Structure 1
């Protein structure tokens, strides 16, 4: 029996030993799993912390970049550079932590790729801003690509956190089961032997030590997270499922205004904002992840602010949502800056001038509404285009010259010829200013252009008028002398016609008379530019004038020219000289005929028009009122642009020598202006020309002309002829004596006054030239009127008009006789004054 005890003991020992060893093995295995699981838990906590830190570093880098872009302050670049460096360090830590996990290595590799792309995108925007290309930087920031990169980063980190928390949950459950198994095993081992307890103690001690180490790591991770939360420039808020605040960092207090004691366990003010979309509020409370929602909110003191809100769900160990982590950023400064930019852009769009900005390579970066109106190009069409290529049909020398002056003086102004979207040429007054950056380096050019095309047209009209006046002054002097030469010739021919009745003499004298009259008519046209156009004006209908012209065209113009007329039935009347207006229309239709050597269409139209204020401003000669517009249009060769401004100049013609004097259009426009009207011309080479004559309309009915009666001879009345031209005195004296008048002559005003003093009671009429040396006609007339207020005077001139004589001498002049005049005209005038 005793021998069996040891055996039993031995057997029992071995059984117990086997049991203990088995239990120990089981206990050790269970404890080992527990330790391994706890290490994995600590590892998961560290991975989560590093992921969150990595995302925070990237956001810090983005915040620094946004701050720099919005303010241009380089102080924001320091946190950006630091965050960028820390982001790369965090990626290195993550790689080290997941070195044994191939799946996580793939995710980290993808994360590194996205974060690297995001950092490169941030670097590009900063580089664009430093190159003063703010619009490009802004477009890059607002692009879908930039946001998508950030969303991808958040998604990858979110998935990794989600997977890590799932592993953490699973390992926590395994740790609980292992701990329970370990306790049972330890209890059995304790009952069996002290050795098992010692072993259990050893294992427990080791486990506790490792657990403490894991807890220490967790505390450090939590402390790091807390430090990040407390020091973050972004407001970080944790909410319960009911929307109560459970975490409120200093940045949130600074942004919203409530301190920690006031806000904890209270509803988040942002969610109580009645302006918040209820659907968005519900999404937030349900734990939906929302990124960068921009909202208007209010601080504690009622101040309105703009914030950016991002949210993410908080989950418990069972992966159930038990709260919302919200990140709040104050973007009021950015909103204010954007508002200022919008207001400034609105002011620039209000401006009537074309305002745009081009870089040093002449690429357009800004284009206001004024530029759209002037050039026709919309902003989206002009931005990014080369200004020279867009606004100039061909290289312009002035551009390169102005560029050199701009580089020297930082500003330039002058006139440029440009084209609009339709290729129409325009003239602008251009002002350039060189814009420099903070370091004083040139970065862009501000251009302000004012359209002056119409102004230049008005200036051209004014210069043309001044040129016409100068030419008229010169022509007047020449015409005066020619009239003095032609007057005695014309009167002498008529006297000779009375003396020589044979056919040969009459033919020669008729030919001489016709040529003298032709010369007189030519001089009369020249003289018209100096003294204006006069004549007997009546109320008339343009319809009758056009009817006479059309009849003449049909009788004399080539059959290859087709005539088309369009005359309004209710055409207004005009007040004018029939002969002169007939001459205007004849000059226009003859020019139209000559412009169509191979035939074409000649159109004459007449209609009533009303000139308003805007139209009057476009024509110097026009005034607001009612007009009759007569339009003569041809389909001929047209007028080249380089000579169209000269066509109304006297003696300017493109016709061959002997086929035109250059007085046709000059006479026409002179007559029209004298009637208070004006002329507009439109022409295109190879397509034809259009002349529009505007004549002021008048009230009343058409005046009927009365035929004059027979001219009678004199009754021995004594006539005093005063003229400084000997030939005129002699032939006038001879003509008057032929028709039974007595004649006294004087060569100047002084001599005339002396004669009139002696024979005042005998002299019936004084025939007086207005242009004389020593004492001119006006002074002589006033002196004669003082001597005898009833004196009868006929004023003669080859230059001065009836109106000027009347204005100079008052009512003392009974009649006016223009040079050159015929004997018949002289006798008729004398008869009308004497009777």
Structure 2
């Protein structure tokens, strides 16, 4: 009996020390042991899992088949997953599902089968793979499109040349209108291939040193006349913008494309905010968050109050000929041209959107900086969990973010300042944590999230029910644009994404020192 107790204690110690999620079940699929990593993965307390069926950790469709899989294996010994491993879906306590890799081993104790599962959350890996696949898809489409456009240009050159020769050789009154129509169509085709070449990064840019603010001002005059009085355009231009090397004509075309896209998304009226600022990407967190190389940039942000874009539309937004405006005859080349222009200009374009709340594009142009310009110290050497500052010592921050990659970055950022952290992937999950008595000093929440509670709703509940807690919200939208679209009007603290570590430090220090 003593030996059995010691063995049990050793097993518990091994399970608790394991970084990987581990679950032990009997032949009926009843959970006998689960370590802390597994409980955290599925958002349960360990005690809540013991004695329950494994089916609580699976979506309904998989749970319906699970018992059959187990009984089939016990009867036949056939290995469909035992000792092999496979990718499956898990289900958390709040009902949300996520991708995971499951490896299962089996043994016998006192003649009864025992199963041990080791689980890995693949949310971040799948997101990384998706970003890589999207980038590779755009590159492949660009190469194919560039080749096709090049061949079509050769064909159109012959067609246009021959039509012009026919016109010059004294075509009759009946032939001239036909030649004119054919020439116009051929020129439209040439314009189309020119835009395709822009997406493919093979257009002939004529870059020159320019003031981005002046280019914006000139272009907005044309945009205002085209949009009409129902659309309000506001600007927020930073003083003393750095100079950039840019093709002015193609830049104006890109800005107009984004403005007209925003108009179509906003319907009969809406608000468009154009802002510029100097940005130094020397912060490893922001570089990871927006997938951009460190350096000095001028950022142009275009935010609208339109319908927003679905997740699928965002994935394909920069592909040529992809459009959600089939009823209005959209060609699907506007954003493709913007993407190609930015890539050819050694810049970067970001997209942030939520259905029903609008869209925000960020265009990052490398600046023309002299060698003497100092680069601020990078925070890449920040250590996680250093000696806490006075304002962070013993404090707990609850990070609420539905994007797994951004949530991981936010946790690392805050831990690097000496805070302890908790995490939730939705406003509903965060609220439940607070109701369950979690010790928290500050809630750091994204503004727009799935579920019944967005960031503003969560903040309002915290203020009403947990008045001692501090709240800091963050969003990829400009604060004054997005706040007008959400029901809560209370001015909570708002940190605009993407933000540098220094901005986060300043805001947290200010809030805890107040």
**CA 566–499 in structure 1, closer or farther in 2 if over 3 Å, else same:** farther
Q: Residue 113 of structure 2 is aligned with which of 438, 442, 450? A: 442
Please say if residues 648 and 669 of structure 1, whose CA atoms lie closer than 8 Å, have aligned partners that are also in contact: yes
Please say if residues 428 and 450 of structure 1, whose CA atoms lie closer than 8 Å, have aligned partners that are also in contact: yes
Distance 2:219 2:286 in 1: 29
Q: Residue 610 of structure 1 is aligned with which of 270, 275, 281? A: 281
Give the secondary-structure state (helix, strand or coil) at the position aligned to 1:395: helix
Question: How far did 1:557 drift?
Answer: 1.5
Distance 2:71 2:32 in 1: 21
Paired positions, count: 362
Question: How far did 1:522 drift?
Answer: 0.8
Are 2:71 and 1:71 aligned?
no
Q: Residue 191 of structure 2 is aligned with which of 512, 521, 545? A: 521
**CA 605–404 in structure 1, closer or farther in 2 if over 3 Å, else same:** farther
Give the secondary-structure state (helix, strand or coil) at the position aligned to 1:411: coil
Aligned equivalent of 1:259: none
**CA 449–552 in structure 1, closer or farther in 2 if over 3 Å, else same:** farther
Are 2:50 and 1:395 aligned?
no
Question: How far did 1:535 drift?
Answer: 0.8
Aligned equivalent of 2:35: 368
- Which consecutive residues of structure 2, in runs of 5 or more, have no partner in the other structure? 372-514
**CA 421–339 in structure 1, closer or farther in 2 if over 3 Å, else same:** closer
Aligned equivalent of 2:24: 357
Distance 2:259 2:209 in 1: 23
Aligned equivalent of 1:413: 85
Deviation string for 1:739-782 (max 9, x for gaps)? xxxxxxxxxxxxxxxxxxxxxxxxxxxxxxxxxxxxxxxxxxxx
Aligned equivalent of 2:304: 634
Q: How does 1:145-544 map to 2 (within 5 A)?
A: 340-341=10-11, 343-348=13-18, 351=19, 353-360=20-27, 362-371=29-38, 374-380=41-47, 382-384=49-51, 386-389=53-56, 391-392=57-58, 394-396=60-62, 400=66, 403=70, 407=74, 408-409=78-79, 410-420=82-92, 425-439=97-111, 441-443=112-114, 445-488=115-158, 490=160, 515-530=185-200, 532-544=202-214
Deviation string for 1:487-525 (max 9, x for gaps)? 35556778899999xxx9999998776654432221112
Please say if residues 458 and 618 of structure 1, whose CA atoms lie closer than 8 Å, have aligned partners that are also in contact: no
Distance 2:72 2:276 in 1: 54
**CA 505–372 in structure 1, closer or farther in 2 if over 3 Å, else same:** same
Aligned equivalent of 2:252: 582
Question: How far did 1:343 drift?
Answer: 4.2
**CA 357–684 in structure 1, closer or farther in 2 if over 3 Å, else same:** farther
Please say if residues 55 and 63 of structure 2, whose CA atoms lie closer than 8 Å, have aligned partners that are also in contact: no
Distance 1:406 1:683 in 2: 46
Question: How far did 1:415 drift?
Answer: 1.8
Aligned equivalent of 1:327: none
Question: How far did 1:656 drift?
Answer: 2.0
Give the secondary-structure state (helix, strand or coil) at the position aligned to 2:144: helix
Deviation string for 1:167-206 (max 9, x for gaps)? xxxxxxxxxxxxxxxxxxxxxxxxxxxxxxxxxxxxxxxx
Distance 1:384 1:574 in 2: 64
Q: Residue 232 of structure 2 is aligned with which of 562, 578, 581? A: 562
Give the secondary-structure state (helix, strand or coil) at the position aligned to 1:586: helix
Q: Which has the larger radius of gyration?
A: 1
Are 2:339 and 1:669 aligned?
yes
**CA 677–523 in structure 1, closer or farther in 2 if over 3 Å, else same:** same
Give the secondary-structure state (helix, strand or coil) at the position aligned to 2:152: helix
Asked which structure has the greater RCO (Cα within 8 Å, sep 6+), the reply is: 2
Deviation string for 1:404-445 (max 9, x for gaps)? 786533334222233546665532222223343142x223x3
**CA 541–499 in structure 1, closer or farther in 2 if over 3 Å, else same:** farther
Question: How far did 1:531 drift?
Answer: 5.2
Deviation string for 1:373-408 (max 9, x for gaps)? 54444445555555443x446433796386578653
Distance 2:163 2:13 in 1: 85
**CA 532–387 in structure 1, closer or farther in 2 if over 3 Å, else same:** farther
Please say if residues 103 and 119 of structure 2, whose CA atoms lie closer than 8 Å, have aligned partners that are also in contact: yes
**CA 395–560 in structure 1, closer or farther in 2 if over 3 Å, else same:** farther
Give the secondary-structure state (helix, strand or coil) at the position aligned to 1:698: coil
Question: How far did 1:580 drift?
Answer: 2.4
Please say if residues 612 and 625 of structure 1, whose CA atoms lie closer than 8 Å, have aligned partners that are also in contact: no
Question: How far did 1:483 drift?
Answer: 1.4
TM-score normalised per structure 1: 0.38
Give the secondary-structure state (helix, strand or coil) at the position aligned to 1:532: coil
Aligned equivalent of 1:695: 365
Distance 2:8 2:106 in 1: 24
Distance 1:431 1:557 in 2: 57
Are 2:263 and 1:596 aligned?
no
Please say if residues 398 and 416 of structure 1, whose CA atoms lie closer than 8 Å, have aligned partners that are also in contact: no
Please say if residues 233 and 271 of structure 2, whose CA atoms lie closer than 8 Å, have aligned partners that are also in contact: yes
Please say if residues 43 and 92 of structure 2, whose CA atoms lie closer than 8 Å, have aligned partners that are also in contact: yes
**CA 536–571 in structure 1, closer or farther in 2 if over 3 Å, else same:** same
Please say if residues 402 and 412 of structure 1, whose CA atoms lie closer than 8 Å, have aligned partners that are also in contact: no
Please say if residues 246 and 345 of structure 2, whose CA atoms lie closer than 8 Å, have aligned partners that are also in contact: yes
Deviation string for 1:198-232 (max 9, x for gaps)? xxxxxxxxxxxxxxxxxxxxxxxxxxxxxxxxxxx
Please say if residues 406 and 412 of structure 1, whose CA atoms lie closer than 8 Å, have aligned partners that are also in contact: no
Give the secondary-structure state (helix, strand or coil) at the position aligned to 2:341: helix
Give the secondary-structure state (helix, strand or coil) at the position aligned to 1:660: coil
Distance 1:419 1:534 in 2: 51
Please say if residues 22 and 37 of structure 2, whose CA atoms lie closer than 8 Å, have aligned partners that are also in contact: yes
Distance 2:44 2:284 in 1: 29
Please say if residues 146 and 202 of structure 2, whose CA atoms lie closer than 8 Å, have aligned partners that are also in contact: no
